[in-house]
Chain A
Amino acid sequence: MELVQAAIAGDRRAIARLITLIESEIKEAPAILAEIYPYTGRAYVIGITGAPGSGKSTLVNQLAKSYCDLGRRVGVIAVDATSPFSGGAILGDRVRMRDLGQYPGVFVRSMASRGNLGGLARTTPAVVKVLDAAGYDLILVETVGTGQLEVEIARTAHTVLVVEMPGTGDEIQSIKAGVLEIADVVVVNKSDRDGAERTAAILEAMLSTRERWAGSGLVYSDHSGALLPRLAKYLGGEKSSMTEETSWRPRVVRTVATRGEGIADLLCAIEQHRQHLLTTREWEERNRLRLLSEIEQVLRRRLMERLLHQVELDHLAEVVNSVLARRLDPYAAAEQLLCG
């Protein structure tokens, strides 16, 4: 495909068009991805997640500038939420990234979540591949403003930054499960505010005492079923070889993103994590799990599509009505639909 070749050659208009096609999940998207896949795997992907208003976009702005100054070509994917009611979205991350206009080596793309609930859009991993193939060697992926459970970024990025703010939680918040658990680096942004020291101290204490998962820091979401963990175990063997010395202890970095303070420390922490991945088995392991999870997601979607293609609409209506009338329970209904 001509467009694909132009994108790989770095033509920005072609890259943008290609992203649109993939994001729209057109019929040809799988063929496009097949064509670009051999060119991928070169980029380093950094995920940025955290609560709305914590300063993710401002941090991305600073990071992109810094990496550009180091001679890197930087791709930015900024995800914002799609309205579940209208299907529309306000993608406002560019407001905080206005400096990036002066950097020709930066490509910024805003994405709407389009119904996906994990903090990214369903096609975000595919869009990462487009930018990767187009020669952006550093890709920053900013999630929607997250609560506690949007952990998909851990399956997309090599290094995950979780952005916190002073005064947003106490010890009990810091030991709850979820987003904080996927952090490779915790950023306490807005550190010029009261309580920054205490927040950083709480996070440090929590992170220094927590147990790491055996092996990699990659998560399984509960709804991903048994396939992924089973396959991972089969392919990777028993992964309990991580010792205290070889497992990564997340860093806590304090920043004031609006003024660029702490950004050098943050770059340093990211580089330390990258070195850690490269010098341990974790790099390989994470890559394997990332790709497995991607296969699984596509598989899940295709199976669902195939199933729905088979089910007649009046049969579906009948089953739903039976459940409404309490003649059938939802589990039995699903069984009936599966059996046709």
Chain B
Amino acid sequence: MIFMNQSHASPPIRVLIAKLGLDGHDRGALVVARALRDAGMEVIYTGLRQTPEMVADAALQEDVDVVGLSILSGAHLVLLPRTVDLLRKYGLGDVLVIAGGIIPDEDVPVLRERGVHAVFGPGSSTQEIVNFIREHVRK
């Protein structure tokens, strides 16, 4: 271990965590961010009140593998597809997009149809999220 050569280990998974929309509640996003950190990922946390444009721009510059969006304002059917579209426009169609927050079950299929890979509502464990990312990010 003491002579572990880090450069030949696979680089950490990079995840952007952002609060999309106008609600000011980031507890959930921070809990997830911390869990991903503890799972060995590099988490770029951009904070509250992000627009789809800000998220896509940051994802581009940070070259992330995953974009995790927390949204509680009820505007998920507008803001999440818009973010996915922008990511594709920027050539980031291979980025894994996951969402959390208050999203009614009946909206989940719609969002998946529009390119959101998974939705983790209240009651999801952080381990589920970690596992999902590890399974779906090609490194």
Contact = CB atoms under 8 A, between A and B. Distances in A.
Contact of B43 (A20, A87, A90): A90
Contacts of B121: none
Q: Which of B39, B42, B47, B92 has the most CB of A within 10 A?
A: B42
Interface string A91-116: 11011001001000001111010110
Contacts of B90: 13
Given A86-B39, A101-B53, A95 B6 contact: no
Contacts of B7: 25
B120 to A, nearest CB: 19
B59 to A, nearest CB: 9
Interface stretch (B29-37, B72-80, B104-112): B29-37
B56 to A, nearest CB: 10
B39 A91 contact: no
B35 to A, nearest CB: 9
A197 interface: no
B91 interface: yes
State the main secondary structure of chain B at its contact with A. Answer: mixed
Interface string B92-109: 100000000000000000
Interface in A10-31: 12-13, 16-17, 19-20, 23-25
Given A13-B90, A86-B39, A112 B60 contact: no
Contacts of A94: 44-47, 58
Interface in B34-69: 34, 36-47, 50-51, 53-54, 57-58, 60-63
Interface in A255-272: none
Given A86-B38, A90-B37, A17 B63 contact: yes
A161 to B, nearest CB: 23
B3 A91 contact: no
A238 interface: no
A95 B11 contact: no
A286 to B, nearest CB: 28
Given A20-B63, A94-B58, A88 B38 contact: yes
Given A13-B90, A316-B3, A90 B45 contact: yes
Interface size class of A (residues with CB under 8 A): 20 to 34
Nearest to A109: B61
A246 interface: no
Given A24-B11, A101-B54, A308-B3, A109 B42 contact: no
State the main secondary structure of chain A at its contact with B. Answer: mixed
B12 interface: yes
Given A16-B63, A23-B11, A88 B40 contact: yes
A110 B44 contact: yes
Contacts of A109: 61-62
B26 to A, nearest CB: 10
B43 A88 contact: yes
A148 interface: no
B12 A88 contact: yes
B124 interface: no
Contacts of A87: 12, 40
Interface in B1-32: 3, 5-7, 11-12, 14
A135 to B, nearest CB: 15
A123 B87 CA distance: 27
A60 to B, nearest CB: 14
A16 B60 contact: yes
Contacts of B34: 90
A12 B40 contact: no
Given A89-B37, A90-B43, A90-B45, 15 more contacts: A12-B60, A13-B60, A13-B92, A16-B61, A83-B37, A87-B12, A91-B43, A91-B44, A92-B47, A94-B47, A95-B45, A98-B47, A101-B54, A107-B61, A110-B42
Interface of A: 12-13, 16-17, 19-20, 23-25, 82-83, 86-92, 94-95, 98, 101, 107-110, 112, 114-115, 305, 308, 316
9 contacts: A16-B62, A16-B63, A82-B42, A91-B43, A94-B58, A98-B50, A101-B58, A108-B58, A114-B6
